[in-house]
Each structure stands twice: as structure tokens, then as C-alpha cells.
């Protein structure tokens, strides 16, 4: 009997020990082998005021359109700051504030998200447990209800909301344990929390502490032909750890080459959240949505094998190259962070992780797609990567279900199961190529620009010819050298040409102008919802508010976070868009406070010009309504002093209101008398040909000081400014403030066919006498190398 009792005691102790060990085993929602989750989160679509039900549903329509049209599927749609918690406060889903944003709670949003096939996530803080047991219980129950009732997949806890008090770590642990009884795969993003006992419950840490809002939080540190070189230069997480968070790719500002950025985020790092974007993807152009979906779709296809990666030797593959996959399929990412093409050699063996076999297909997927050929184990294949771009290649012994075109690069426009496959083959203008389809057995019919593709489906080569005028020179190349010159006599006009060509609008407005109008209703609705939201309008960050006939809107210098964005005091400029006969200009402010630093009844001055060379000074009397009598034909106005809040500007000619459709304004650039150059350079050349959408990149290598160097040009003697620059010109930003840099500016000047054969003079002017060791260069580039397109469609068997 005693032996039996001892045995029972021993058994119970052993059982208790096993239970205790099991209870201490924490699954943080994912592990290093968990496939990535494709995510969008709403930061920069809204700021700390938070999302609303109406705007969220409109955004859902956009993502549903992407799914229905291109097969793109999100896994997680996450609300960022302000949905429940906010900066320095903890909120409640039972509060009046929450009801104002989500009048029907999360129920309709949850049902709508579920119907599209994704789950929800939310930004918040780690605490919120109050000071009493009742407050602690309410916080725990609230967060648990998000998982129990709405199947939340992600919590992004950020110290911006406030730290986790040490005495509340047990409550935090209890909350996470209960949440994961309903959402076992709940991802917890640890953004600067400093957890101790609760740290094992976090899924990730924030890698490098970087946010990726271009030219706000992330900028170029070298000259480059676009704004995203700094983003492309990000390295690799130590040990290729995937349970970290790189903040995704911001699609809101400085959009050019966003796809190179996303390729690296999705396939190079391939973290637990990938592909991951945030901001305003509806600001892309209509032609770019197929590429966005293609990146998401390829990642989804290979996500199970993208969890295992290996860094490739830098001396062979360049910086931060990675190969991911299994023994039969490898996904390889490389990049080029220089001004010239780079050639790398891919060795199809253990060096990239593929096992011995014949028939290894090598396919380029980005920047364009192209079937490079079938090779044997150990073969070496040279591949080229354009300047400041990333590239993606797939090496596989498996079948490939997407059309494999050999002989020319192409872009997959649409590849949705059960629907017609659409692609564009690319080629230089006025060139001929022989293309062939390498997997014709998958398709029953095809069309090449409206004609039968029978020969392609028989495996034969087909000649195609691309339209346009042929080019003799590379579309990306360095142009004539700069030489130092005396300060130009018209340096003031050159400076004004650029600041009048540029703007100080929010970066998202620049993106809107860059992408142009849309033909897609869901895109237009998402854009309208963003730009028409109350806080965007009331921040006064779009110059069009001056010309809308509404005294409730305006445009004024931003002072977010008490940071003054004006350069050397700034100046207000008005561009009428063209030479305009005008008798009277009327400027309105709502009250005397808005008029300051001007004072009612005092005289002030404005200068007006036809051509930026000659200026005439006029005076006017300050007040809530200011009438400036011009009685001349002009285009440009610059004010020595500006009211701090202007709400409306009108013009009269012969007592009739002028059309203001093309009027533009800026308010941050320095007045010209504050910008006196101390050194100048000039480069002269003639372009005998131009690829489509060509532009000049004027790279100012070296340290020039903050706003210490400007660029402008003369084309056929006419002043031409640089409307864009990296790092971006100061803007009245939507969120936070523009980044500043004291070195390596790159100015961009777009070109068109009217520039062909004309004398082009590019001027660099330096203004900071302490930083004059600039090495300027001028390059010409064209997106996608100016290639023409031929449309091909295939019907699957």
C-alpha cells in the first residue's frame, strides 16, 4: 500500500512537471519557418486621427478590385494609429471617439474583410491596463474580444502610445495568452517596447528602427536617378532572421521605382510580413497596378519555400544578394547601387542552393520578365542589372505555369486562373526580335496584337517589330562634363526658374500629379476619400485650395511639431501658368491673426514678371482682402512678406474673373535676395534623339550644405527649372516633416521631343561658402529604357 501511494505521488509530480513545462512553452504566433503574410497597413492613409468606417470600406473596395481583376490577395489589413489607441493615449471600443469613427463597430468591417479573404490587425500600445483591477480587466477583455469576435491576426504595439509599466507585464502576458486561445497565429509586432518578462510573447522586433516614408523618414545617402536608392541600400537582417519587421514599403511619396523596393522587401528579406505595403497605393498609375499584383502573386505562389534563405557571396553577386527556396527552385535577388549597369554571374549549383539536375530553367522576373534559357547543373549565366535597381530571378527544375517567352523581355499584365493571360512583349523602338513560347503545351489559343498566335503555340519562332524611331545611343548614359564658370549674370532668374517649376505641396499631391488621372472607379474613390478627408483639407497642404472659391480652405506654411519648413524665412510665389493679362489680383485671409506678420493698413510689396528676368515692384495695402492693381500681362509674382494663412486668391481682367485652373503657388522657398551663389558650374550639350519619358539627372556629388545648391537649365535659350529633386524639395507634409540633407542632391529635369537638336545648358549654383567641393555630373535616363510594347494574349487549356 505504501509503495502504491509513493507511486501515485511520483506520478502526480511527474505529470505536474510536464504540465508546468508545457505551460512555459510560448508560441509567439509564428516561427522562423512560418510562411509570410501579405499585408497592407493604413499609416499615412490616415495619421493619428485614425481611420473611419467609410474610408476603410472604400479602401476594401480597392483591394477587392485588385483581387477580382489581377488575383492579388491580402492576408492582413491592419489599422494603424488612431483606430483605438493613439499617440500618448489608450482608447476603448466603447468610447464616444470610437463610435464617431466606427458607428457600427467592427462588425461590418470584419464581415467585409472576411468576404474578400483577409483578416484585420490594429496598432496600439502595450499598456492601457489602468490603475485598478477593474480597468485592467476591461483592457484585457477588449483586446481578447478583437480575436474572439473578429479573428484579428495582428497587434502592432508601439511605444509611441506609451511604455508598458513593469508592474503590468503580468497583465500583458495574461492578455496575450487569452488572445492566442482564439487566434493562435496572432502576430505581435514589438515596436520599441522594451519588454522584459513579456518579451517571449512578441513575434518580431523592429529592424533598425526605420520607417520607410520616402523623403520623410528614409532618404538617399548618395546621388541617384530616383528617390528610392536609400531604400534599396538597406542591408540584410543578421542571420536572415524573418521574425522581425522592416516596416514594409511606403507607397505614398516619391513613387518612381517603388517596385524595386518591394521586390527586395518581399523576396530578399521575405520577413513574416511580406509583401508589406502601407500608405496610399491608389496613387500609383493605372499601368502600375498589374505589377503590384504580380509581385504579391509570385510571392504567394512561392511563400512556402521563401522561408529558407542563404546570403550569396558579395564578390560575385553584389551587396546583400540572397537566394531562397528548396533544392528544386531558387528565388534569387540582386541589386545595383551604381550609375552604370552591373553584370553578375549566376552559377546554377550549390552556390545558389539548387541540386544537381539537367533542365534548370532560369527566368528573370524583375525589372522585366524573360526566359533566359534551360541549363545544366553547374552552368554559369551572366545577367545584367540596370543602375539603381533590383532584380529577381527564378531558377527551377519544376514546370512553370506562366507563359515563358524567349527572345525579348515582357511584362505579365494579367495571369488569373480560368481567365485569359495577358502580357506585353517589350523591345527597343524600330527593332525586330524573334520570340518563341517555351511552354506552348499549356495553352490552346493565342493572339498577337489581334492576329492568331498559331506559330507560337506550335513552338515556332515568330518575328515581331516594334514601332517608333530607332535609337543609336544607350537610353541611360552620362552626358558632357561640367566646367566651373563665373557666376551667371542671370543667376537669380535660373534660381527662380527652378523654384517656380517646383512646389511645396504635400508629397502625396506630387504623387498624384506624377501618376495622372485614373480610369478605375475604385482607385478614384480611394483617392477622393484620402484627399477629401477633413484633416487633409484643414492642414492647408495643397495649393489648389487657394483657387477653389472656398474661404474655409487654404494653403499655408506648415509648422508640425513646431518645425519651421521655410527656407531662410520663405517667400510666397504665385505662377499664373502662362502669360496672363490681369488688372487686379485679390488675396483673402479670414482674420487679422491669419494676416500676420502683415498688419492691417500697412503697405507691402510684391514683384511681378513676364519671364523671370525682369521684375517690377508694386505696393498694396494689407488687410483681410488685399487688392493688388497690376494692369499688365505677367505670369509670375513673388512676395517679400506673406500672411501666415491665405484662404483664397482671385484675379480680374476687365472686371471679369480669370480662369485659375493652371494657377499654382509655393510658400517655403527662400526669397531670391537670400540666395546669392558663390560658385557655379555649367554643362552644355545637344541631344539628337530621345527615348520616351527621358529625363536629366544632375548629380551633385559631395557636401553642399542644406539647401546649399540649386540647378536649372536653358533649352534653346529658354529658362527651364528642375521640378523634382532627391532629397525632395521642402513640402507642407501630410505627416511629420520633410527630411533634410546637406550632401548628394540629385535634381531631375524632364525632357520631351521639343528638346531634340536644341542647345541645352545645365547650371549648378552653390550658395554655401563653407561647402563648395561639389562634383556635378549630368546623366540621361528613361524608365524601362524607352521600350515599345506588343500585346499578346493566351487562353489556357
Query: What's the structural domain count of the chain?
Result: 4
Q: Are 29 and 37 in contact (CB under 8 A)?
A: no
pLDDT above 80: residue 13: no
Q: How many whole angstroms separate alpha carbon 445 and alpha carbon 457?
A: 7
562-580 residue pLDDT tens: 888 999 999 999 999 999 9
Residues 6 or more apart whose CB falls under 8 angstroms from that of 13 comprise: none
Q: How many whole angstroms separate alpha carbon 366 and alpha carbon 387?
A: 13
Nearest to 546 by CA among 517, 582, 507, 503: 503
Kindly state the cell numbers that stand for 111.
464581415
Instruction: Give the per-residue pLDDT at 353.
Output: 97
Instruction: Give the per-residue pLDDT at 25.
Output: 82
Q: Specify the length of the chain in residues.
A: 797
pLDDT above 70: residue 10: no
- Its domain, for residue 730, covers 477-504+674-781
- Strand blocks (E) in 242-379: 249-251, 273-279, 309-311, 322-325, 329-336, 342-347, 360-366, 370-375
Virtual CA dihedral for 154, 201, 236, 702, nearest 10 degrees?
80
Query: Which residue's C-alpha cell is 525632357?
Result: 751
Residues 151 and 272 in one domain: yes
199-212 residue pLDDT tens: 999 999 888 888 89
Mean pLDDT of 490-507: 98
Scanning 102-192, the segments in alpha helix (DSSP H) are 107-116, 133-150, 169-182
My answer on whether omega of the bond before 246 falls inside 30° of 0, hence cis, is no
Of 627, 648, 666, which residue is a domain's last?
Answer: 666
Poorest-pLDDT segment among 58-72, 265-279, 737-751, 773-787: 773-787
Kindly state the cell numbers that stand for 795.
487562353
**CA-CA distances (angstroms) from residue 350 to 326, 327, 346, 512?**
11, 9, 11, 46
Q: What is the CA radius of gyration of the chain?
A: 30
Q: What angle do CA 665, 666, 670 make, to 5 degrees?
A: 145
Kindly state the cell numbers that stand for 255.
513613387
Does residue 134 fall inside a structural domain?
yes
Instruction: Give the per-residue pLDDT at 159.
Output: 85
**CA-CA distances (angstroms) from residue 360 to 307, 349, 380?**
21, 10, 11
Residues 246 and 214 in one domain: yes
Q: How many CB atoms lie within 10 A of CB 660?
A: 17
Cross-strand pairs, 124: 157
The two beta strands, 443-448 and 788-796, are antiparallel
Name the band, by pLDDT with cuts 50, 70 and 90, for residue 4. very low
Does residue 517 fall inside a structural domain?
no
pLDDT above 90: residue 194: no
Kindly state the cell numbers that stand for 257.
521605382
Kindly state the cell numbers that stand for 176.
496575450
Q: How many CB atoms lie within 10 A of CB 170?
A: 13
Kindly write down the DSSP assignment for every residue of 454-484, as one continuous string: HHHHTT--EEEE--S---SS-SSEE-PPPEE
690-722 residue pLDDT tens: 999 999 999 999 999 999 999 999 999 999 999
**CA-CA distances (angstroms) from residue 3 to 7, 9, 13, 14, 111?**
6, 10, 15, 16, 60
Please name the helix (run of DSSP H) or strand (run of DSSP E) that holds residue 19, with its range, or none.
helix 2-24
Instruction: Give the per-residue pLDDT at 786.
Output: 81
Mean pLDDT of 124-153: 97
Mean pLDDT (the chain) is 95
pLDDT above 80: residue 729: yes
Residues 6 or more apart whose CB falls under 8 angstroms from that of 106 comprise: 93, 120, 146, 149, 150
436-456 residue pLDDT tens: 999 999 999 999 998 999 999
Instruction: Give the per-residue pLDDT at 162.
Output: 82
Name the band, by pLDDT with cuts 50, 70 and 90, for residue 69. very high
Three-state DSSP at 512 gives helix
Does residue 524 fall inside a structural domain?
no
Q: How many whole angstroms separate alpha carbon 680 and alpha carbon 612?
A: 19
Does residue 649 fall inside a structural domain?
yes
The two beta strands, 37-41 and 76-79, are parallel
Kindly write down the DSSP assignment for every residue of 637-670, as one continuous string: EEESS--S-B-EEEEEETTEEPP-TT-EEE-SSP
Name the band, by pLDDT with cuts 50, 70 and 90, for residue 297. very high
- Strand blocks (E) in 660-796: 664-666, 679-686, 695-701, 709-715, 718-721, 724-726, 746-750, 759-766, 775-781, 788-796
Kindly state the cell numbers that stand for 463.
518575328
Name the band, by pLDDT with cuts 50, 70 and 90, for residue 15. very low
Mean pLDDT of 96-118: 98
Query: Which residue's C-alpha cell is 510573447?
Result: 201
Left, alpha or beta for 380 (phi > 0: left; psi -120 to 50: alpha)? beta
Please name the helix (run of DSSP H) or strand (run of DSSP E) that holds residue 23, with its range, or none.
helix 2-24
Residues 74 and 59 in one domain: yes
732-765 residue pLDDT tens: 999 999 999 999 999 999 999 999 999 999 999 9
Instruction: Give the per-residue pLDDT at 531.
Output: 98
Q: Are 387 and 341 in contact (CB under 8 A)?
A: yes
Cross-strand pairs, 573: 638, 666
Instruction: Give the per-residue pLDDT at 7.
Output: 45
**Secondary structure (H, E, C), 523-542:** HHHHHHHHHCCHHHHHCCEC
pTM of the model: 0.95
For residue 268, the 8-state DSSP code is I
Scanning 183-325, the segments in alpha helix (DSSP H) are 229-232, 258-263, 289-302, 314-317
Residues 463 and 485 in one domain: no
Scanning 117-245, the segments in alpha helix (DSSP H) are 133-150, 169-182, 229-232
Instruction: Give the per-residue pLDDT at 37.
Output: 98
Sign of CA dihedral 164, 170, 171, 175: positive
Kindly state the cell numbers that stand for 168.
503590468
**Residues 116-125: b if buried by 16+ CB within 10 A, e if exposed:** bebbbbbbbb
pLDDT above 80: residue 8: no
Sign of CA dihedral 461, 463, 467, 473: positive
Residues 328 and 211 in one domain: no
Residues 182 and 45 in one domain: yes
662-674 residue pLDDT tens: 999 999 999 999 9
Q: Are 761 and 778 in contact (CB under 8 A)?
A: no
Q: How many whole angstroms separate alpha carbon 277 and alpha carbon 520?
A: 20
pLDDT above 60: residue 16: no
Residues 148 and 226 in one domain: yes
Of 616, 645, 666, which residue is a domain's last?
Answer: 666
Q: Are 476 and 779 in contact (CB under 8 A)?
A: yes
Does residue 525 fall inside a structural domain?
no
Q: How many whole angstroms separate alpha carbon 337 and alpha carbon 221?
A: 11
Kindly state the cell numbers that stand for 209.
528602427
Does residue 5 fall inside a structural domain?
no
Residues 132 and 173 in one domain: yes
Q: Are 617 and 604 in contact (CB under 8 A)?
A: no
Domain CATH code at residue 397: 2.60.40.1180
Cross-strand pairs, 216: none
Residues 153 and 97 in one domain: yes
Query: Which residue's C-alpha cell is 512537471?
Result: 17
Of 650, 666, 682, which residue is a domain's last?
Answer: 666
Name the band, by pLDDT with cuts 50, 70 and 90, for residue 17. very low
Name the band, by pLDDT with cuts 50, 70 and 90, for residue 644. very high
341-355 residue pLDDT tens: 999 999 999 999 999
Kindly state the cell numbers that stand for 222.
548618395
Domain CATH code at residue 72: 3.20.20.70
Residues 189 and 219 in one domain: yes
Nearest to 669 by CA among 524, 569, 562, 772: 569
Q: How many whole angstroms separate alpha carbon 742 and alpha carbon 733?
A: 20
Instruction: Give the per-residue pLDDT at 24.
Output: 63
Residues 6 or more apart whose CB falls under 8 angstroms from that of 238 comprise: none
Does residue 603 fall inside a structural domain?
yes
CA 567 to chain CA centroid, Å, is 26
Residues 73 and 145 in one domain: yes
Q: How many whole angstroms separate alpha carbon 596 and alpha carbon 641?
A: 10
Residues 317 and 292 in one domain: no
Domain CATH code at residue 593: 2.60.120.260
Q: Are 186 and 155 in contact (CB under 8 A)?
A: yes
Residues 6 or more apart whose CB falls under 8 angstroms from that of 541 comprise: 505, 506, 509, 555, 558, 731, 732, 733, 734
Mean pLDDT of 640-653: 96
pLDDT above 70: residue 3: no
Does residue 598 fall inside a structural domain?
yes
Domain CATH code at residue 689: 2.60.120
Nearest to 396 by CA among 366, 355, 368, 367: 355
215-225 residue pLDDT tens: 999 999 999 99
Amino acid at each position: 500500500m505504501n509503495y502504491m501511494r509513493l507511486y501515485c505521488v511520483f506520478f502526480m509530480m511527474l505529470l505536474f512537471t510536464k504540465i508546468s513545462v508545457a505551460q512555459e512553452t510560448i508560441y509567439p504566433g509564428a516561427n522562423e519557418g512560418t510562411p509570410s503574410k501579405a499585408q497592407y497597413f493604413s499609416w499615412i492613409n490616415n495619421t493619428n486621427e485614425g481611420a473611419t468606417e467609410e474610408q476603410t470600406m472604400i479602401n476594401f473596395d480597392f483591394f477587392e478590385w485588385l483581387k477580382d481583376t489581377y488575383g492579388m490577395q491580402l492576408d492582413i489589413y491592419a489599422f494603424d494609429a488612431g483606430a483605438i489607441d493613439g499617440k500618448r493615449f489608450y482608447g476603448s471600443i466603447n468610447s464616444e471617439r470610437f463610435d464617431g469613427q466606427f458607428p457600427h463597430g467592427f462588425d461590418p468591417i470584419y464581415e467585409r474583410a472576411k468576404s474578400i479573404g483577409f483578416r484585420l490587425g490594429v496598432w496600439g500600445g502595450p499598456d492601457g491596463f489602468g490603475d485598478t483591477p477593474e480597468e485592467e480587466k476591461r483592457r484585457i477583455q477588449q483586446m481578447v474580444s478583437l480575436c474572439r469576435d473578429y479573428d484579428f491576426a495582428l497587434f502592432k504595439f508601439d511605444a509611441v502610445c506609451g511604455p508598458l509599466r513593469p508592474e503590468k507585464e503580468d497583465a500583458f502576458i495574461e492578455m496575450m495568452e487569452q488572445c492566442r486561445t482564439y487566434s493562435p497565429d496572432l502576430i505581435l509586432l514589438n515596436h520599441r517596447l522594451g519588454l522584459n518578462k513579456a518579451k517571449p510573447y512578441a513575434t518580431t522586433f523592429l529592424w533598425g528602427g526605420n520607417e520607410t516614408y520616402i523623403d520623410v523618414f528614409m532618404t538617399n545617402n548618395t546621388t541617384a536617378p530616383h528617390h528610392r536608392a536609400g531604400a534599396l541600400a538597406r542591408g540584410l537582417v543578421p542571420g536572415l532572421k524573418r521574425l522581425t519587421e522592416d516596416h514594409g514599403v511606403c507607397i505614398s511619396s516619391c513613387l518612381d521605382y517603388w517596385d524595386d523596393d518591394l521586390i527586395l522587401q518581399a523576396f530578399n528579406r521575405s520577413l513574416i510580413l511580406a509583401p508589406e505595403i502601407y500608405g496610399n497605393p491608389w496613387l500609383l498609375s493605372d499601368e502600375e497596378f498589374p505589377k503590384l499584383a504580380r509581385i504579391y502573386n509570385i510571392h504567394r505562389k512561392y511563400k512556402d519555400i521563401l522561408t529558407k534563405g542563404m546570403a550569396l557571396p558579395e564578390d560575385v553577386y553584389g551587396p546583400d544578394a540572397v537566394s531562397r527556396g528548396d533544392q528544386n527552385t531558387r528565388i534569387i535577388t540582386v541589386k545595383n547601387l551604381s550609375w552604370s549597369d552591373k553584370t553578375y554571374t549566376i552559377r546554377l549549383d550549390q552556390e545558389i542552393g539548387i541540386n544537381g539536375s539537367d533542365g534548370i530553367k532560369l527566368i528573370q522576373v524583375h525589372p522585366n520578365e524573360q526566359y533566359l534559357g534551360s541549363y545544366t547543373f553547374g552552368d554559369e549565366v551572366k545577367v545584367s542589372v540596370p543602375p539603381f535597381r533590383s532584380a529577381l530571378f527564378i531558377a527551377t527544375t519544376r514546370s512553370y505555369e506562366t507563359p515563358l517567352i524567349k527572345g525579348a523581355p515582357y511584362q505579365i499584365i494579367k495571369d488569373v486562373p480560368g481567365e485569359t493571360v495577358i502580357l506585353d512583349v517589350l523591345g527597343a523602338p524600330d527593332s525586330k526580335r524573334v520570340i518563341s513560347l517555351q511552354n506552348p503545351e499549356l495553352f490552346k489559343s493565342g493572339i498577337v496584337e489581334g492576329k492568331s498566335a498559331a506559330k507560337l503555340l506550335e513552338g515556332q519562332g515568330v518575328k515581331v517589330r516594334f514601332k517608333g524611331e530607332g535609337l543609336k545611343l544607350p537610353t541611360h548614359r552620362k552626358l558632357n562634363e561640367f566646367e566651373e564658370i563665373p557666376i551667371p549674370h542671370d543667376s537669380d532668374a535660373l534660381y527662380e526658374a527652378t523654384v517656380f517649376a517646383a512646389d511645396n505641396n504635400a508629397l502625396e499631391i506630387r504623387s498624384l500629379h506624377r501618376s495622372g488621372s485614373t480610369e478605375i472607379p475604385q482607385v478614384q474613390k480611394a483617392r477622393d476619400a484620402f484627399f477629401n478627408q477633413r484633416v487633409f483639407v484643414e492642414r492647408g497642404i495643397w495649393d489648389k485650395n487657394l483657387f477653389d472659391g472656398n474661404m474655409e480652405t487654404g494653403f499655408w506654411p506648415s509648422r508640425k511639431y513646431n518645425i519651421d519648413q521655410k527656407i531662410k524665412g520663405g517667400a510666397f510665389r504665385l505662377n499664373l501658368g502662362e502669360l496672363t493679362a490681369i488688372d487686379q489680383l485679390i488675396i483673402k485671409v479670414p482674420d487679422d491673426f491669419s494676416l500676420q506678420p502683415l498688419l492691417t493698413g500697412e503697405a507691402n510689396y510684391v514683384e511681378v514678371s513676364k519671364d523671370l528676368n525682369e521684375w517690377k515692384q508694386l505696393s498694396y495695402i494689407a488687410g483681410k482682402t488685399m487688392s493688388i492693381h497690376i494692369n499688365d500681362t505677367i505670369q509670375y509674382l513673388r512676395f517679400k512678406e506673406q500672411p501666415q494663412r491665405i484662404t483664397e486668391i482671385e484675379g480680374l481682367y476687365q472686371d471679369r474673373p480669370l480662369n485659375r485652373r493652371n494657377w499654382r503657388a509655393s510658400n517655403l522657398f527662400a526669397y531670391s535676395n537670400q540666395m546669392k551663389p558663390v560658385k557655379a558650374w555649367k554643362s552644355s550639350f545637344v541631344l539628337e534623339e530621345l527615348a520616351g519619358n527621358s529625363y536629366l539627372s544632375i548629380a551633385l556629388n559631395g557636401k553642399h550644405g542644406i539647401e546649399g545648391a540649386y540647378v536649372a537649365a536653358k533649352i534653346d535659350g529658354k529658362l527651364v527649372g528642375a521640378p523634382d529633386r532627391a532629397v525632395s524639395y521642402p513640402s507642407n507634409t501630410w505627416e511629420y516633416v520633410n527630411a533634410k540633407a546637406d550632401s548628394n542632391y540629385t535634381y531631375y529635369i524632364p525632357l520631351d521631343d521639343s528638346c531634340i537638336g536644341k542647345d541645352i545648358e545645365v547650371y549648378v549654383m552653390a550658395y554655401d561658402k563653407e561647402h563648395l567641393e561639389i562634383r556635378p555630373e549630368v546623366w540621361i535616363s528613361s524608365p524601362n529604357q524607352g521600350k515599345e510594347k506588343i500585346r499578346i494574349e493566351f487562353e489556357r487549356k
